[in-house]
C-alpha cells in the first residue's frame, strides 16, 4: 500500500480551490490525487511469514533514481552508495535522508535497515509533474517536487523521509492495518520515528526539538510551520487557503469518519501527543528511553488491528519490561496516555 505524507483531505481541499492566483496549486493537487489513486504493480511486498532473519547493521546500501517528471519507477539511477554528491539538491537530500534514517535504526536499535536484514534503500526523486506528495510504496521511497505555490520539494524535510521509511519498518514488524485506530497508530509510529530521525541527526534533546513533521515543506506563501505538530496537534498550520490543522490532541476530540481510511492522518495526533509527553517528561534525548519503548512495542506481540487502548497498554508493558514495573519510565507512559484520555490502570509493583 502507498503511504503518502500529505493527507488526502488536504490535497482534496487544494484541488477544489477556485482562485485564479492559485490555479497552478489546485491543478497540481488534482493531478497528485489522480496519481495517488492509480493502481500500481505489486512489488515484492512483505508478508509476516516472510520477514527475514535479522543481521547486525553493516551500513546502508542506497540507490537514488530520477523519474525526470514521469510516473514510472524507479527512473534512471543518479547516485549509488558511496558516490559523490550529484549537485541535484533533491537527489542529494534523499541520499542523506536515507542514510540518517538507517543511522537511527542501526545505532539506537541495532536494526539493519528497514527489514532488520540489510534491505537496500531505494528512492526516486522528481516524480511526476509538480507532484504534491512523498510516499513509501512497500518497496521504495518516492518524492515529488511540489507545486511551488503551497508545497516545495518533499526531500527538504528530514522528518518526512524518516516518516515514510518508518512505514517500511512497521510493515516488517507490527504490520498495523491501515484503517481506523490501527491505521492512525501506523501513521503515528511513522511520525514518532520520523521525529527521532531528525532529532538524532541534529543531536537535539527532547526539549530542543521542534516536534514538527514536515517542517520546511510549505512555501513562504503559507501560514503554517509543518504538516503536523506532535507537541500540540491541531496547531501546525492556520491558513486562509489550507484552513486550520484539524488534528485532535485528546480522545475527547477523536474524529469518527470514513474518510482517509477512517481518519488515519487525523487521529494520529492523539498517540503522537502521548509520545511527546513521555519524551519530554523523561527529558534528555527522546531516543534514549521513549524511543526504545515504542520500538519494543512495534517489535513485540502487538496485534495488527491494535486499538489505541491496546497500544497504550503495550507501551506500558514495554516500559516495565525494559525499565522495571513502577519505574519512572513506566509512570511517564501511563501518565501520558491518561492525559490524552486513555487511562491504562494499575501498573503493578515490584513487591
Residues tagged active-site: 164, 265
In the chain, beta strands by DSSP E = 3-4, 62-66, 76-80, 121-125, 134-136, 141-143, 212-213, 228-229, 238-239, 243-244
Distance CA 286, CA 211 (A): 11
Distances (CA, A) of 272 to 193, 268, 275, 278, 340: 11, 6, 5, 10, 10
Contact 104, 116 (CB under 8 A): no
Block residue for cell numbers 501506523: 186
Grid coordinates representing 83? 558516490
Grid coordinates representing 287? 531516543
Is the omega angle on the peptide bond into residue 74 within 30 degrees of 0, that is, cis? yes
Amino acid at each position: 500500500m502507498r503511504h503518502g505524507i500529505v493527507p488526502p483531505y488536504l490535497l482534496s481541499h487544494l484541488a477544489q480551490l477556485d482562485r485564479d492566483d492559485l490555479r497552478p496549486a489546485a491543478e497540481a493537487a488534482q493531478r497528485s490525487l489522480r496519481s495517488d489513486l492509480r493502481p500500481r504493480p505489486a512489488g515484492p511486498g512483505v508478508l509476516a511469514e516472510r520477514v527475514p532473519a535479522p543481521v547486525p547493521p553493516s551500513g546502508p546500501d542506497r540507490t537514488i533514481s530520477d523519474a525526470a517528471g514521469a510516473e514510472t519507477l524507479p527512473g534512471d539511477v543518479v547516485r549509488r552508495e558511496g558516490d559523490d554528491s550529484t549537485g541535484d539538491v533533491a537527489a542529494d537530500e534523499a541520499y542523506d535522508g536515507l542514510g540518517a534514517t538507517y543511522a537511527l535504526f542501526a545505532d539506537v536499535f541495532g536494526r539493519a535497515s528497514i527489514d532488520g536484514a540489510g534491505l537496500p534503500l531505494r528512492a526516486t526523486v522528481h516524480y511526476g509533474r509538480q507532484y504534491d506528495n512523498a510516499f513509501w510504496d512497500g518497496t521504495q521511497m518516492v518524492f515529488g517536487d511540489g507545486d511551488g505555490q503551497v508545497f516545495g520539494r518533499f526531500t527538504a524535510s528530514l522528518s518526512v523521509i524518516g516518516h515514510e521509511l518508518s512505514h517500511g519498518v512497521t510493515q516488517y514488524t507490527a504490520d498495523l492495518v491501515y484503517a481506523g485506530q490501527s491505521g492512525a497508530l501506523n501513521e503515528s509510529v511513522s511520525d514518532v520515528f520520523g521525529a527521532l530521525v531528525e532529532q538524532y541527526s541534529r543531536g537535539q534533546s527532547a526539549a530542543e526539538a521542534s516536534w514538527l513533521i514536515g517542517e520546511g515543506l510549505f512555501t513562504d506563501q503559507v501560514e503554517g510551520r509543518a504538516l503536523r505538530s506532535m507537541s500540540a496537534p491541531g496547531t501546525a498550520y492556520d491558513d486562509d487557503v489550507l484552513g486550520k490543522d484539524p488534528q485532535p490532541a485528546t480522545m475527547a476530540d477523536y474524529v469518527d469518519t470514513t474518510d482517509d481510511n477512517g481518519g488515519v492522518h487525523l487521529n494520529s495526533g492523539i498517540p503522537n501527543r502521548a509520545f511527546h509527553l513521555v519524551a519530554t517528561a523523561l527529558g534528555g534525548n527522546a531516543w534514549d528511553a521513549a524511543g526504545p519503548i515504542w520500538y519494543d512495542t512495534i517489535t513485540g506481540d502487538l496485534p495488527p488491528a491494535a486499538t489505541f487502548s491496546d497500544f497504550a497498554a503495550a507501551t506500558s508493558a514495554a516500559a516495565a519490561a525494559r525499565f522495571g514495573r513502577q519505574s519512572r519510565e513506566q509512570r511517564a507512559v501511563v501518565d501520558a496516555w491518561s492525559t490524552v484520555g486513555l487511562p491504562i490502570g494499575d501498573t503493578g509493583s515490584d513487591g
